[in-house]
A and B are shown apart, each in its own frame.
Chain A
Amino acid sequence: MINFLLLPILIPLITGVILIFFSKNIIAQRWISGISSLSTIAVSAILVQKIRQDGIQTLDVSSWDAPFGITLVSDMLSALLVLTTSIVACTTLIYSFRSIGQERERFYYYPCFNFLIVGVNGAFTTGDIFNLFVFFEVMLMASYALIVLGGTKIQLRESIKYLLVNIISSALFVITVAYLYSVVGTLNMAHISQRISEVDQPGIITVIAILFLVVFGLKGAVFPLSFWLPGSYNAPPIPVMALFGALLTKVGVYSIMRTYTLLFYHDTGYTSKILATLAILSIIFGLIGALAFADIKKIIIYNIIVAVGVILFGISVMTTDSLTGSVFYLIHDMLIKTTLFLLIGIIISITGTSKLQEISGLIKKYPGLAWTFFLSALSLAGIPPLSGFIGKLLIVKGGFEAGNYLGAAIVLISSLLILLSIMKIFINGFWGTPRSFEGEKKASVKTLMIAPIILIIISILLGVGAEAVYPYISQAAETLVKPEIYIDAVLKE
């Protein structure tokens, strides 16, 4: 079936629309969205397998040939990210069933959830720069609704900031696309890349590349543009926060990855220097935040910025190794950030607070929770048998090969400090004398634990079975290293 690569976008879209009809029937909403997210996982897994066998899949929507219509392109990178997104979505959904609360469920929580997944999957799959903008907006509109849904004071305040920042960055995105269109006269990414290589990246293209970096940096929280993230991500309830932390910034990172490897790869001296500097600053800034706060939500939120920095550093180095590492780390990070957010959500639901000083001795009563948290903390820092290791190893290796010793060293040191910041939660929160907390409900913890346990198992498998996963990742990185593969697949030459 030629429309197969569309299914991960279409299934959540139809689900979201159908759920509008059942908005008051919570049981039906849960069943329908649960089944649809499971089938999205199945479909995207088959898609990954299909690309492994047959190479890049393209679909010229509405039968218009490549540069003239919208083309959806699913190469290995997109397909893997779509698969990861589906897994993250499904587990977050399972977690939402027990934690989001009936009030929110009755006011279109699940339709918004599905539309967010449509936006993310669409942004990963599209091969058209303006279509990318549209999917960004689909994703952001849904995220505006999710961030404000519930209407508590902090949510209202932070959603205003979030909206303001994103509207400005979207306007800048449109302006940048307009600049690019006036230079190259096309919107199809493969065709843009071809046109740019014909004119050999003059100065104006470098300006546009930096503008894209600003736009996607605002979406993906790269250092000087990440000012909005700690506040905004602190506001919504935990499942929404997990979804945002795992998916939204990563779409920005993916877009930087795509534009910098597919479009602006001819004159990289200047752009990659800026990218590397911003990446290293993001790592440092994120680490300062992660170490400074004694609030478990804030620690994880600042760790997002660190991870964005690490991935971007891999992209800026532009060797095969570092790009492979970036792809691996991106996938690992989406999974592990969801796990961590869901776990601290459980901690908060037990203790009723996110302040680290008020929590201690949880390991006595909740050993399962404690050891799951311990594993995910080790995985986040990149301890060898777990999934965070290989990505970082390849990024560091790429950094040393390319002669960027300072950056690679900072990536290495960052692992240590990430470990420190996350072990601070483990040591203060789980060890020590047990306390009793208000609102302890042991039964609900067990059902909440399902989602993070599934995620940590996948994450461990990703690390232990790296040998089996590696061919997929390296196929994804191959398209990034050799953009001709992508261009040929889209323009069919």
Chain B
Amino acid sequence: MKTNDVILQTTTKIVLFIILIFSVFIFFTGHYTPGGGFIGGLLTSGAIVLLLLAFDLKTVKKILPFNYMYMIAAGLLFSIGTGAGAMLFNVPFLTHAYTHIDIPILGELSLHTATIFDLGVFLVVVGVTMTIIQTIGGDE
């Protein structure tokens, strides 16, 4: 018997984006207010878990066709790369700096390299959480 979960699925479709936006917000405000890569990553994976609850593993894999192991490795590379980048300028490992990036629409943004480190944390957290949940949840 197939239960009808149209209410759950419809609510998920709306709530999902609110959670995702909130997680991105938390991620970017981490420097000045509570938040950061870790909690942001957990919120994002929370959103994906909600998707998993409302739909099934196969559908979610079709919607988000990521290899989460690669996501972990990429996150680690981001974080290590931020640290190792400092070595090119002959300053100690992980010395952070301001970098100026010109983005056409937003104009010149002054960004801190710690954000890239945090992005690495974010990716690792999402990757690890989703790998754990998919591995336990999947039975192939």
Q: Which residues of A contact B (CB under 8 A)?
A: 1-3, 6, 10, 13-14, 17-18, 20-21, 23, 59-63
Contacts and interface: CB of A to CB of B under 8 A. Distances in A.
B93 to A, nearest CB: 5
Contacts of B57: none
Nearest to B76: A17
Contacts of B92: 2-3, 59-63
A61 B92 CA distance: 5
A63 B87 CA distance: 11
B73 A61 contact: no
30 contacts: A1-B87, A2-B92, A3-B87, A3-B93, A6-B87, A6-B93, A10-B80, A10-B93, A14-B80, A14-B84, A17-B73, A17-B76, A17-B77, A17-B80, A18-B77, A20-B73, A21-B70, A21-B73, A60-B92, A61-B92, A61-B93, A61-B94, A62-B86, A62-B92, A62-B93, A62-B94, A62-B95, A63-B91, A63-B92, A63-B95
A61 to B, nearest CB: 5
B126 interface: no
If over half of A's interface residues share one DSSP class (helix, strand or loop), that class is named, otherwise mixed; here it is helix
B90 interface: yes
Given A14-B84, A20-B70, 6 more contacts: A2-B90, A10-B84, A17-B76, A17-B80, A18-B73, A61-B93
Contacts of B86: 62
Contact of A20 (B72, B87, B95): B72
- The 4 A-B pairs with the shortest beta carbon distances in the complex, nearest first, are A20-B73, A62-B94, A63-B95, A17-B76
A14 B96 CA distance: 19
B103 to A, nearest CB: 27
A59 B95 CA distance: 11
Contacts of B80: 10, 13-14, 17
Contacts of A63: 91-92, 95
Interface string B63-100: 00000011011001100100010110011111110000
Contacts of B76: 17
Interface of B: 69-70, 72-73, 76-77, 80, 84, 86-87, 90-96
Contacts of A20: 69-70, 72-73
B78 to A, nearest CB: 10
Contact of A1 (B73, B84, B90, B96): B90
Nearest to B79: A17
B84 to A, nearest CB: 7
B77 to A, nearest CB: 6
Contacts of A21: 70, 73
B73 A62 contact: no
Nearest to B88: A3
Nearest to A1: B90
A20 B94 CA distance: 23
A74 to B, nearest CB: 13
A59 B72 contact: no
Contacts of B87: 1, 3, 6
B4 to A, nearest CB: 40
Contacts of A17: 73, 76-77, 80
A3 B91 CA distance: 8
Contacts of A18: 73, 77
Nearest to B97: A63
Contacts of B72: 20
A63 B77 CA distance: 21
B48 to A, nearest CB: 20
A71 to B, nearest CB: 10
B73 A59 contact: no
Contacts of B84: 10, 14
Q: Which of A10, A17, A23 has most B Cβ within 10 Å?
A: A17
Contacts of B96: 62
A59 B86 CA distance: 13
A63 B76 CA distance: 21
B76 to A, nearest CB: 4
A248 B76 CA distance: 24
Nearest to A4: B87
A318 B120 CA distance: 45
A23 B70 CA distance: 10
Contacts of B94: 61-62
Nearest to B91: A63
Contacts of A62: 86, 92-96
A167 B139 CA distance: 29
B71 to A, nearest CB: 10
A62 B83 CA distance: 8
Nearest to A7: B87
Contacts of A2: 90-92
Nearest to B84: A10
B9 to A, nearest CB: 34
A20 B77 CA distance: 11
